[in-house]
Amino acid sequence: MATNPDAVHNSIKPGKWVRSTCKMCLHSCTNLIHVTDDGVVNKIEGDPTNPSNQGKLCPKGNSAIMRHYDPKRFKQPLKRTNPEKGPNIDPMWEPISWDEAFEITARELKKSIDEDPRKLLPSIEDFQKMNTWAWPLTFGNFNCFQSAGTMCGGAYHPVNGYIHSAFAAANDAKHCMYWINDGTGDGFSSHLHAAAQSKWVADARMDRGMRCVTIEPRFSISAAKSEEWVPILPATDRQFALGLCHEMVNNGLVDYKFMRKDTNAPYLVGEDGYFIRNNEDKIFVWDSVENCAKLWDDPSIKKLALEGTFDVDGKECKPAFQRFKDILEECSPEAMEKITTVPAETTRRLARELYDAAEIAKDSTIEIDGRVMPLRPAAYNYYRGAQGHKMGFQTNHAFKMVNFMLGNIDTPGGHMGVTLDDQMIDNGHIQPGENGMILPTPHQLGPVPPFSYPPNTFHLMDYFPVGVNPPHLNLKVWEDPSKYGIDFKPDVMVICHSNPLWAMQGPRNKWFEFMRSMRFIVVSDLIPTETTMWADVILPSHDVLESWNNTMIEPPHTEGYCFRQPVVEPLYDTKSEEEIFYELSERLGVLEQYNEVVNMAIGLVNKPELMLETNVKHTDREIARRRGLLWNGKDIDWYMEHGHAVTERRSDKWYRPWEGLRLHFYIEDMLVQRDGLKKKMEDANVPFIDEWQWNDYSPLPTATLDPVHNEPEEYDMYGMFYKDIQLNFGESLSNPWIQDIVYRDPVHIALMLNPATAEKKGLKALDIVKVESPHGVLFGRIGTSEGMHPGALGVSNALSRIKTGQMGAPHAGGHFNDLLPYDLLNTDAVTGQPETVCRLKITKLDDWPQGLKDGKSVYDIVDEIGQPGKGRTH
Amino acid sequence: MARWGMVFDMKRCIGCNACVVGCKQENSLPDGVFFTKTLSEEYGVFPSVNRVYIPTLCNHCEDAPCEKVCPSGATYTRDDGIVMVDSDKCIGCGACAVACPYDQRTQLSADNFKSGLFGDGELTPFEEQGYARYEPGMVTKCDFCSGRVDAGLDPACVVTCPTDARIFGDLDDPDSKPSKLIRERGGRAPLPEKNTKPKVYYID
Amino acid sequence: MAVRDLPIVGDSFNVGFRFQRYWDTPMANAFFSCEAGAGLFFVSMFVGYIPGMILGIVAGVGLKAFFHLTHMGVPFRSWRAAIRPDRSWTSRGVLGIAVLVVFGVAHIVIQQYGLVAAWGLPGFVTDLVIFGAGVGAVSCMCYQGFAMSHSNAISLWSTGLMPVSSFVYALTSGVLLTLALAFNGHLAEQAGLREILVTAGLFSCFALVAVLLSLLHASRHGSPGAQKSFDLLTKSLYAKWFYSLIWVAGIVVPVLVLWLAPGYTLVLVAALGALIGHYAFRVLIFKAGVFEPIMSFRP
């Protein structure tokens, strides 16, 4: 690219461009980074050679330079000299050498780990680096004090593991023509690779006329761009989806061919919920032409029954499809309307529109790369807002059921499983399971600890055999450890690339006490956050422009590794996270074990010649190099030149990779897991077995209300929170460029209420209010919008930072997560998914409480920006 | 000689403001200063609500009122239609700022440059290499990334827009992307009654 | 909801009106000084009151330049303001000021020291100088209004009445200032001068009324931005200042005083009122100026 020494525009000043990968959220759009001849990073753009983000970057990616040059960045290791700890208490950091920092850290960790490795509470959550995330496994430690995947993916990932044997899911933007977004902003504001997905979805809408419908309590960006917005009461999306299924099942709006051929819907289920099996454990089906039971793989089957009640060897049974139809009897659109407030007529119409758009009646097909497959260009996409509820497993399953009805699972135009990290190009993610079904893989984020009583994890992960970590239970257990039989006391924390004091749910003041009960806390991070305030030692890490990595993180339409390489010398006395963990491992005498864990975590075990030597402290560069070799056999110089190995997803992996196997329409494993866990808990006399909600385990989704709907009536509103593309999947509010755009956006500067609701409550815009749920309190200022469901209060993530006195992000009156529960009642017994909606009541205040009056808050900034009487002076 | 113009496809725009940050990057803009903004308007009554995202920037008008009123000759139009501001000539009188019907001119104060992006009085290396192009007190605006255009590139905001809602090109070329879009989907000028002949068009 | 009901949105990313604040109080000070000063010079020249002429130039040029420099973004380059008289009213104004200074000072000096006679210059030189000074003064009295109305961006200002309002305000301030300053001195010496000025002042005030009402009318029936400005001035944010300072102090008080054939004290009050009204007009017409919303979709 021509450069001009007199140029005033940054991208064309003399310098060089380096290919690398963005890190402003957990995903991995790749970019081009411009460094001037004087070594200043002055422009970052998307890399046009990457078929994923195609040269685009979201506002966060565009703001990365101001993370790099953030003056608050930790410049060297620090030691706390103020023994008092609190969100606003100055730690009185003293700079120390790396040697001293490592010495203190290793010494304190060793003290506890030698006593009992379970005394370590880790919070290490860099999705781009499973090699650090898995570090606690070095000690056989399954504790988890981080929120990664909890609110958005606690139940989402296990269900995707059952249905698609994949980590995430998204609609096929290449062929979809009718795209539903329920509680998600895919393609508009959030979720998978926001910049990339926005481009894919925009092209689908504009080039192919794809229709979008958004189901959400709030008129989000997705709703604004959709052809239709369906307002819905928070925490009722499961009931809505079941209403759709009711309409489909009772009016023949189903892809029966798909049900019969590609799913276990015809498999016969007994009254106890288990499949009907013969002595060899083979499962029976019913041939409706010959009117008899046969084994599922009997070649003489004429037509598989999906409905009816049958008798097999004296056992009454029904096809799984019939079992679902029975559940749906109480899920008519009219019955569901009472819960969701979505008009029955809308549900009926959408069901029909989806069916028509999916081209089921025509049995449309499409040929891709020589394979002729069904074309089902209508799909139901959903994510955090829809799935983050107590009955998480059933909730996610219900959304999948809509897609099952449309016959679109992993099918062109439909709802696709998205793998997290294929590790090697030829890695398939489908394994055959029993009885012709795919092998379900709910453990998408790594191995889970086996059952144990007394528990071996502080957050009771031993009791969620198919779950994702429920870190909020750390707080519940900490309140009364003996109640849960805990026989160890965690007292050291290792926190890296994680901000649990911001992300966890439950009241802050209790989390603060939790932190105070720790003997030693080491934090590795870039900038001061809510969490770094509590550290005893800070180990500052390189940022994304100073380090190496190679990663693939659930890209929806592409696959392949995205490479990160240093662009400049480290600005400060920092180290890579790899160097930090290797040094600590060596000092703790577990270097070999750690290398073994890394080999497993990043898949090097698949190619023994690439496995890391266990007696070496490897660098981030070396790990990046080997990951690249693992992916496509290319060495690091190839990656340094190309920046990525991203291609569009191979159609044989993306489309119906399970062809010939059957999908789990009916998840019998729920009963296997339930009964297995129950027996173990009974045999071990687990004292809290009565708290376990066995009904959460269900092979099919039901319409049981989440407990949030049964909170006391005085809490008459539903609270929901949201982010948009400037904020999602990362910390960005400390960035001045992000602050410059977020606090000018009307949806991120007030607690949002429907105007009619506000009027009924005697509230108006700019009123200061106290918001209370049964679990906590939040203060804020009201804004009104017709784009809010009358029953909901919307709280933007921009208004949930905590005042610390050291952070760049301004506070706003509390934290939405304080309003959320953290108990077992509101946790999915299957997956650990917590409830992310609350019931609340709103009280008008005359003024802010004293503690919130000093220091600049978001509302102060908003007033400065929007004050009438002050215009555009600079 | 090209006649550069831009089209905003409001059906594509998702109001993410990536363009705004990309522009701030490219042009080393101080805090609170924008050469482009994406506005939003929400209207309707629940549940029939609408929201439109409306990108804005300097329209590089053919009949630029800012150029007309500039007493020092700092504001001028290049042969290719880009309206520029010469930072060596601007006296910061603000005549252009009150002459622009679109409020796209912005005055840079000395405070902008002193307090820095992080408001702590220290400039980052990025700011130090970037602020040199500005004279504190001057009134300036988007210049369609003229340097990039001269190098055959699109403006920074266009390049980064995730949904391709910003389309840049030669309005005199009937086959250019903006020309085609204006023709096919009825591009309209903003505030046409102000008779400025803007070269930025909006498509619904 | 009509466009005019859109809110004023400050610096947020909402669609709505935005105040213009580029020409704010420092600029209002400069405009006021220039107009009042030039008006004072003009009227003083008309009645031959030398101290008034001197003060007029000091205020109209000196004070104006000072305040203008406080407004300028890059003050040390302000000489560049004169470069484009072919198209910019700012440049033309600089020329006008130059003319006023040159011919105005010349006129003062000539009058004070009787130089035409002393140097034996032809008589038409006096008239030439007076003409030049007059041109300079008049251009200073109205060029600022031209500058404001040159672009149609701020609808409130986009009217031919702008330069007229400048001129009439300048004239009113000039008349009343001259009356007040020279009441017991120069004006007392020549019969009928006071009366002429009183009458001129009254007519000037009536002209002000006409101009203001026309401005309001044009604004009320203009673009949404103009209507918004109208609301700001007459009903909402600036209404109390608008009525009390511009109408009561700036017009009612001078008119009443002039009508009642005043003594010195009342004339002072009238002059003060007129100046207050003039200054308030300058400030409020800047403050009430808004940019139109770039587009709106609400029905």
pLDDT tens figures, A591-619: 999 999 999 999 999 999 999 999 999 99
Cβ within 8 Å, pair C20-B103 = yes
Contact B101 C289 (CB under 8 A): no
Task: Write b or e for each residue in A773-789: b if 16 or more Cβ atoms lie within 10 A of its Cβ, otherwise e.
Answer: bebbbbbbbbbbbbbbb
- Residue C123's pLDDT band, with cuts at 50, 70 and 90, is confident
- Residues in chain B within 8 Å Cβ distance of C84: 70-73
φ/ψ of residue A10, rounded to 5: -60, -35
How many CB contacts within 8 angstroms connect chain A with chain B? 206
Residues of A in contact with C288 (CB under 8 A): none
Q: Report the pLDDT averaged over residues C154-171.
A: 95
- Interchain contact, B26 vs A203, CB within 8 Å: no
Per the CB < 8 Å rule, is A9 touching B165?
Answer: no
Q: Cβ of C291 under 8 Å from any chain B Cβ?
A: yes
Round to whole Å and give the CA distance between C28 and C282. Answer: 5
C-alpha angle A507-A508-A514 in degrees, rounded to nearest 5: 100
* Chain C positions in Cβ-Cβ contact with residue A868 (cut-off 8 Å): 7-8, 10, 19, 237
Q: If residue C69 lies in a helix (H) or strand (E), which one and from where to where?
A: helix C64-71
Of the candidates A524, A528, A568, A560, the one whose C-alpha atom is nearest the C-alpha of residue A544 is: A568
End-to-end CA distance of chain A: 35
Alpha-helical segments (H) within A271-405: 320-328, 333-340, 344-357, 384-387, 392-405
Q: What is the mean pLDDT of residues A545-567?
A: 96
Radius of gyration of chain A (CA): 27
Nearest to A410 by CA among A141, A655, A55: A655
Residue A715 has pLDDT above 50, yes or no: yes
Number of helices (H) and strands (E) in chain C: give both, helices first: 13, 2
> Given an 8 Å threshold on Cβ–Cβ distance, is B50 in contact with C297?
yes
Give the residue from A766, A117, A167, A814 showing the smallest Cα distance to A488: A117
Nearest to A726 among B17, B106, B148 (CB): B17
A241, A380 contact by CB (below 8 A): yes
Distance between CA atoms of A290 and A302, rounded to whole angstroms? 7
Q: From first to last of its 204 residues, what are the pLDDT tens digits of chain B?
A: 899 999 999 999 999 999 999 999 999 999 999 999 999 999 999 999 999 999 999 999 999 999 999 999 999 999 999 999 999 999 999 999 999 999 999 999 998 899 999 999 999 999 999 999 999 999 999 999 999 999 999 999 999 999 999 999 999 999 999 999 999 999 999 999 999 999 999 999
Residues in chain C closer than 8 A to A871 (CB atoms)? 10-11, 18-21
Report the distance separating Cα C191 and Cα C187, nearest Å.
8
- For C83, the closest of B71, B95, B138 (CB atoms) is B71
Interface test with B, best of A62, A219, A569 (most B CBs within 10 A): A62
Choose among A866, A869, A873: nearest Cβ to C12.
A866
Would you call C238 an interface residue with chain B, using a CB distance cutoff of 8 Å? no
Average pLDDT, chain A: 96
Nearest to B46 among A202, A205, A754 (CB): A754
Per-residue pLDDT, A873? 45
Q: Which residues in B lie closer than 8 A to residue A31 (C-beta atoms)? A: none
3-state secondary structure A437-476: EECCCCCCCCCCCCCCCCCCCCCCHHHCCCCCCCCCHHHH
Q: Would you list the DSSP string of A221-249?
A: HHHHHSSEEEE--TT-HHHHHHHHHHHHH
Specify the pLDDT at position A869: 59
Q: Say yes or no for a CB contact (<8 Å) between C12 and A869.
A: no
Spatial CA neighbour of C93 closest among C78, C81, C111: C81
Sign of the alpha-carbon torsion through C75, C77, C82, C83 = negative
For residue B71, the distance in angstroms to the closest alpha carbon of chain C comes to 5
Residues A201-249 have pLDDT tens digits of 999 999 999 999 999 999 999 999 999 999 999 999 999 999 999 999 9
Confidence (pLDDT) at A874: 39
Using the Cβ of C5 and the Cβ atoms of chain A, whether some distance falls under 8 Å is answered with no
What is the per-residue pLDDT for A871? 47
Q: Which of C18, C31, C88, C156 to mutate to test the interface with B (most CBs of B within 10 A)?
A: C88
The candidate with the shortest Cα–Cα distance to A585, out of A129, A132, A145, is: A132
Instruction: Return d(Cα B130, Cα B115) in angstroms, integer.
Output: 15
- For chain C positions 214-243, those within 8 Å of chain A (CB to CB) are 237
Flag whether pLDDT at A635 surpasses 90: yes
Distance from CA of B58 to the nearest CA of C (A): 12
A757 burial type by CB count under 10 A (0-12 exposed, 13-18 middle, 19+ buried): buried
Say if the Cβ atoms of A744 and C24 lie within 8 Å: no
Query: DSSP assignment, residue A613?
Result: P
**Contact in structure between A458 and A474 (CB atoms under 8 Å):** yes
- Which of A744, A868, A872 shows the shortest C-beta gap to C13? A744
Chain A interface includes B17 (CB < 8 A)? yes
Q: Are the beta carbons of A336 and A369 closer than 8 angstroms?
A: no
To probe the interface with C, which of B20, B41, B75 has the most C CB atoms within 10 Å? B41
Q: How far apart are CA A824 and CA A827, in angstroms?
A: 5
Q: B68 to chain C: which residues are within 8 Å by CB?
A: 87-88, 150-151
Q: Min CA distance, A787 vs chain C (Å)? A: 14
C299 in Cβ contact with B43 (< 8 Å)? yes
Is B159 within 8 Å of chain A by CB? Answer: yes
Closest Cα in chain C to A746: C14
Specify the pLDDT at position A870. 53
Which chain A residues are within 8 Å of B109, Cβ to Cβ? 873-874
Q: What is the pLDDT of residues A779-811, one digit of tens each?
A: 999 999 999 999 999 999 999 998 888 888 999
Chains interfacing with B (3 or more CB pairs < 8 Å): A, C
Residues of C with Cβ-Cβ distance to A866 under 8 angstroms: 9-12, 14
B contacts of C289 (beta carbons < 8 Å)? 98
Q: Do β-strands C290-291 and C18-19 pair in parallel, antiparallel, or remain unpaired?
A: antiparallel
In 3D space, the residue among B55, B54, B53, B58 whose CA is nearest the CA of residue B4 turns out to be B58
Residue C15 has pLDDT above 90, yes or no: yes
Rounded CA-CA distance B147/A43 in Å is 14
CA distance A406 to A354: 8
Q: Which two tokens stand for residue C124?
A: 């038409």
Residues of A in contact with C241 (CB under 8 A): none
Q: Which two tokens stand for residue A47?
A: 């890399």
Percent of the residues in chain A that have a pLDDT greater than 90, as a whole number: 94
Name the residue among A749, A866, A873 with its Cβ closest to that of C9.
A866
Tell me the whole-structure pTM to 2 decimals.
Answer: 0.95
pLDDT of residue A595: 98
Which residues of chain B make contact with A225, given a CB cutoff of 8 A?
11, 14
Chain A residue with CA closest to C8: the answer is A868
Any long-range contacts for B176-181 (C-beta under 8 Å, 24+ apart)? B177/B7, B178/B5, B178/B6, B178/B7, B181/B7, B181/B9
* 8 A C-beta contact, residue A198 and residue A188: yes
- Tokens 């790899």 correspond to what residue? A578
Q: Which residues of A touch B16 (CB under 8 A)?
A: 58-59, 189, 194, 198, 221, 724-726
- Kindly report, residue by residue over A290-310, the tens digit of the pLDDT: 999 999 999 999 999 999 999
Alpha helices by DSSP H, C183-263: 186-189, 193-220, 224-234, 239-241, 253-259
Mean pLDDT of A322-337: 98
Identify which of A474, A467, A468, A464 has the alpha carbon closest to the alpha carbon of residue A495: A474
Q: Which of C11, C13, C14 sits opposite A872 (nearest CB)?
A: C11
Instruction: Report the alpha-carbon distance of residue B48 to residue A230 in Å, rounded.
Output: 10
Q: What is the DSSP string of A4-36?
A: -TT--SGGGSSEEEEEEE--SSSS--EEEEEEE
Distance between A841 CA and the closest CA of chain B, angstroms: 22
